[in-house]
A and B are shown apart, each in its own frame.
Chain A
């Protein structure tokens, strides 16, 4: 088991009173799982992802990453945790506009004390993995949306994370590109044994995971676990 969530609660203060964003959330994630988190808008999907990343403090409950208590950690410990263990893929790609594709991929390594050539080679290898090594010197504006998301995926992998947190990674892409990206994530999950937690509102995308957690008003109302075999046509349909 890589991640354990026990009785997790998150309350927001609002002018109308307290709002329960997450309520008594419990689940486990094993190494190499591909977990999708679904739910309607406002159900708490992204709040859950941010809380797991230590970017939002939970109100109560336990979040355990291996032996590390995310819910109890200090800001510095959480930064180190994300630096060493987590990769992020966002709907908006979040690439730095003035950095080339390979510089964007190398970005998380900027805070690692490693030789320059080692960083460069690691980034180049990942650009090859996502099929963009021939675009390594292109700025984000010179790449298509699908290519930008591939660069973002390569960036998420460059620090060799054991956990990738993806927030609507296909939300800005058309269906064929979405399938492309989802297949790439699935491939990375299978080949690199990287654990994936992906927030999505797309039922088709949710089918890519071997476990699906459905949230309703901050509570888990269903956890599905199954073998997934999905191809490009199914996503488009």
Chain B
């Protein structure tokens, strides 16, 4: 069984290990490129949002590479994301009919542990629970790694590039709970020499839609580009937090929602409430600016956009909202980022 799932930035490593732990081989296809996007766009409906197009292109390329089982997250609620799999299943069936497509609902943990996963992989529920527990630790490790690399990039970008490869090699070799702890120590050792804490750096909070925030291909490597400009990116979104949120283990959730309440009295679906809540926390914590990224025509994030405009006026904090689709050019995006960083810098150091 060759299993494919959409790429998810650095967290792909954790998901890959999860699948391999369940006794399947992972076959994700080549890394995401312009070809992935154009393939996805070709088969997608006209008005759909960007994550649909990228994940669809991703699946097509995985099928070309020989995958026979496709896994897609699901869970129909207010956001369009929960409905992706109905259309993708139909479209992929027309392209190649020798594969199995499984939609895995995010909001039914019981079904996930005891029915769906055991049925797909032919393993016992205990094994699934154990694998999920390890997945949580792997993703925590990657979350930690992302925190370190963001900090390093802000101070010494080219050094960070070198150390990133080294760190990723360590993470890829992890295969048990004990090794996760060991890898954490090693990561700290690798990144420690270049971490110094001076105040002469600007901090920009990154909020938005989760897929765009996690997958560097989808957000045109915005974190890296900001790091190149000497900005420390602060972000609360990761696969680790999302898993914790789904398993109802995340205490930070409550804080986010209570902070969002001033602007959104009810969740409009998706991650809008988190976007607004996190932005509010950032604004209170004196973060210098906020960048909000979301797919073009994303419904919940558009509501969040309106809330963020109000928040920007209330706290006098610069907010840049970037909606991304397949026509976004990287050069245009970079110009906007540079201008925004200049604005933030001028505001911070004007005295």
The answer to whether A and B assemble together is no
Task: Please list the residues of chain A having a beta carbon within 8 angstroms of any beta carbon in chain B.
Answer: none
B-to-A contact residues, CB < 8 Å: none
